[in-house]
Chains A and B, each alone.
Chain A
Amino acid sequence: MPPLLEVRGLTKSFPGVLANDHIDLEIEEGEIHGLLGENGAGKSVLMSTIYSLYRPDEGRIFLRGREVHMVSPASAIRCGVGMVHQHLTVVPHLRVWENIVLGEEPRRGVFLARREAFRRIEALCRETGLQLDLHAWTGELPIGLQQRVEILKMLYRGASLLIFDEPTTVLTPQEVDQLIAYLLRLKEGGKTIIFISHKLREVFALCDRVTVLRRGRKVGTIVIADASEEKLAEMMVGRKVFSPKRGEEKPKETVVLAVEHVSTLPERGKALHGLNFVVHNGEIVGVAGVEGNGQTELAEVLVGLRKVRQGKISLRGEDITFASPKERIKKGLAHIPEDRHRRGTVLDFTVTENLLLGFEDEPPIRRGRWTIDLPLLRRFALSRVGEFEIATPGVDVPVRILSGGNQQKVVLARELSRPVSLLVACQPTRGLDVAATEYVHRKLLDLRKEGKGVILISADLDEIRALSDRVLVLYEGRIIGELAPQSDEYQFGLLMGGKSLVAQG
């Protein structure tokens, strides 16, 4: 029997980039096939080409042994191919049911047959166990539920081959577990699934086989039972990957940051209540918690973007409670913002300009009263790009065109360009691939080794436990407990769920 989907010699290039270089792929009916690769390896392009969002330059696509020429998503849909995109394609101001039927609306005369639509969608919901309020405004749902709308959209169109493009990057850990459960259920129901990811754990939890891409080429396809995390990571990156290891040295006794009884008002976010903690030199303090429990607000308070109502923050013994962000930066506070697109970088500025932000008004970059020393700036940018291994076609291209990992490196390069005594790192590896994550982890550990303080706020518990010396757990704007990183996951889970236990570790 021919495979459900067969791709032969598929090639797609964009100006300056060969995104897919003669890729062969076979997807068997009823399997969950993982597609692994670093950012920029060509996974999304490959799938978007199969879904006919892009036209291939070369190559042939066969469905159940018959060659197909799909020219638009509409024809892909007719062939039974559905895709959930990384950036969801639901219309926020339409209701859930409207989004699901969009493009395939049941009609009665010239009017939409609403009842018919409901009947069909509700039947699908029952079959798959995906529950949704069909009347809700789609834009008001949490991302996890919006994704559910997308899945129903595909099923409604009768798709038998479902493509998921990095569906877990936007989800919370709980939502990821739910999604994995649903996908397994869809597989039982006879669907075939292509699952794009760069998270190995998810691939192991789900997939039957995996195909690994690297820089636009296929590295190989292996059965998951024969694979190990190390092997897959090596295939993706092209070399051995090292998991982060904290050095043996103990944190020093000196306190770099002291936060005393800090509270804030619940303006545009969660209120913080009486936070109390210190960070020592040479120490990484992790901040764990379910997202939305005050992590963002804590970071904003530390870097001076949010007003403190009560309490005191001091950096190396100096009171900075009311210092402006700029003053804090000058005193040695560095910040990796959680949203690198909105706060970390100006996407349409060049690499050089992004590296300059915050230095532009200081010597030696500022020359004289009004001018910027452009040659010096260029040398500075080039040296940063070299030192931080930023992969970019040049220092004068907009940061927008870089991969997420390289954008993050630009942020790091800028923040670590001045004498740093404390780094506030917020979700520093979110959305980054294995190699870039490894790089960021190494930088954080280097800072620790150099005797700087680091606050690591992350939604990735594994990351926090691997890097931190101590872990604070935030719940509803309070520090509900402190754990040693080696404490078991169960204890973390309890604290993150708001059940305080007798302090330990």
Chain B
Amino acid sequence: MSLFSILNLSLFQATVRMSMPVLFAALGGMFCERVGIVNIGLEGIMLNSAFFAVFATYLSGNPWIGLLLGVLSGVGWGLVIAFLTVKYYGNQIVVGTGVNVFGLGFSAFMCQRIWGSRGASESVVGLPLLRIPALERVLGENTVFVYLAFLLIFLSHLFLFSTHWGLRIRAVGESPQSADAAGINVHGYKIVFVVVGSAITSLGGVFLSLAHLNFFAWGMTSGRGFMGLAAMIFGKWTPLGCFLASLLFGFTDALQMRLQALGILPAQIILLFPYVVTILVLSGLVGKAIPPSDYKPYEKR
């Protein structure tokens, strides 16, 4: 097998699939940052939603209920983060780190209690494929997530740049004082869109556990939340940018799997690919990234 033999349609399809979790995290993170909250808890939110999705499916036997609970867990974390950082001016980095550490520990603990193993859950029914033959020829067989993601990108773009809510979000994030002076409910906007962002992020977790693997494994997000953060920065805090950047990460992930199969490099080195790309992206390879936000807590007098 030559190196070029892996450059085919199936690599493209794998790229799209593997970019999903990163994309949801990036879009979710984007909404949080657009209202001025750095959400580094994306990883923890994803991991938790992956767990809850499997847990609910395990109990109910219905993956749709799993999806619902997974997203609800995202909403829950969004509320926690929003209240701590917006209402009580908590440090965003500390809160986010807390969410990550908690997510890792909590899911492992629950996994142990429920399935008797901290490493992985039992397999559950995954989400069914959504058959759209016309698109399947290009994208391959997919669950609802891929189509949902495209819809979300499109809608987020419209929302952010063509509605008055979007205008207000951008103002609230970048200059809360100005937004306040213009009579906008700054804290309200911040809270709502941190929750929305966290909910979108949780879709990434549900994707991993109900569409990609059909079980929960300890630490199964393996840094994709952080990659989402990187993709968001790379994508300059725009939905389309997030999409393209996520494709890059998805590509390295897909490529990595295929290179492993080829066996020309030690697996450990190939496994590093997505992370090396993350570092390169964040170290300014992509030019200066100026956040559209002022991340300081906004205190009303």
User: Could you list which residues of chain A lie within 8 angstroms of chain B, going by C-beta atoms?
Assistant: 53-54, 72-74, 77, 83, 85, 87, 89-94, 98-99, 101-105, 107, 110-112, 153
Contacts and interface: CB of A to CB of B under 8 A. Distances in A.
B184 A91 contact: no
B167 A112 contact: yes
A73 B181 contact: yes
Interface residues of A, dominant DSSP: loop
Nearest to A98: B167
A102 B180 contact: no
A234 to B, nearest CB: 33
Contacts of B137: none
Contacts of A104: 182-183
B183 A103 contact: yes
Contacts of A102: 167-168, 171, 178-179, 182, 184
B174 A72 contact: no
A230 B164 CA distance: 51
Nearest to A90: B178
A428 to B, nearest CB: 29
Contact of B183 (A73, A85, A87, A92): A73
Contacts of B180: 53, 73
Nearest to B178: A89
A94 B173 CA distance: 11
Interface in B61-104: none
29 contacts: A53-B301, A73-B183, A74-B184, A77-B182, A83-B181, A85-B181, A89-B175, A89-B177, A89-B181, A90-B175, A90-B178, A91-B170, A91-B174, A91-B179, A94-B167, A94-B171, A102-B167, A102-B178, A102-B179, A102-B182, A103-B179, A103-B184, A104-B182, A107-B164, A110-B163, A111-B158, A111-B162, A112-B162, A112-B164
Given A73-B181, A77-B183, A103-B183, A91 B163 contact: no
A85 B162 CA distance: 28
B104 to A, nearest CB: 36
B241 interface: no
Contacts of B292: 93
A93 B167 CA distance: 11
A113 to B, nearest CB: 9
A11 to B, nearest CB: 16
A98 B166 CA distance: 11
Contact of A105 (B158, B164, B181, B301): B164
Q: Point out which of B158, B181, B301 has the most chain A C-beta atoms below 10 A from its C-beta.
A: B181
A92 B292 CA distance: 9
B147 to A, nearest CB: 22
Nearest to A113: B164
Given A53-B301, A110-B163, A112-B162, A92 B181 contact: no
Contacts of A53: 180-181, 301
Contacts of B181: 53, 73, 83, 85, 89
Contacts of B175: 89-92
Contacts of A101: 167
A44 to B, nearest CB: 12
A102 B182 CA distance: 7
A89 B163 CA distance: 21
Contacts of A73: 180-183
A93 B168 contact: no
Interface in B147-189: 158, 162-164, 167-168, 170-171, 174-175, 177-184
Contacts of A87: 177
Contact of A94 (B158, B170, B183, B301): B170
Contacts of A72: 183
A385 B258 CA distance: 72
A112 B167 CA distance: 9
Given A54-B301, A112-B163, A93 B170 contact: yes
Nearest to B184: A103
Contacts of B177: 87, 89
Contacts of A107: 164
A158 B182 CA distance: 13
Contacts of A85: 181
A443 to B, nearest CB: 35
A153 B167 contact: no
Given A103-B168, A110-B163, A91 B178 contact: yes
Interface string B255-271: 00000000000000000
Given A103-B168, A111-B162, A89 B182 contact: yes
A103 B172 CA distance: 11
Contacts of B179: 91, 102-103
A372 B109 CA distance: 53
Contacts of B158: 111
B171 A91 contact: yes
Nearest to A114: B162
Give the 6 A-B CB pairs with smallest separation, nearest first: A74-B183, A103-B182, A105-B164, A89-B178, A89-B181, A91-B175
A105 B178 CA distance: 15
Nearest to A103: B182
Given A53-B301, A89-B175, A92-B175, A105 B183 contact: no
A102 B174 CA distance: 13
Contacts of A103: 168, 179, 182-184
A243 to B, nearest CB: 37
Nearest to A51: B181
B174 to A, nearest CB: 5
Nearest to B290: A93
Nearest to A74: B183
A96 to B, nearest CB: 13
Contacts of B162: 111-112
A85 B178 CA distance: 10
Given A53-B181, A94-B167, A112-B167, 10 more contacts: A72-B183, A73-B180, A89-B177, A89-B181, A91-B174, A94-B174, A98-B167, A105-B167, A111-B158, A153-B182
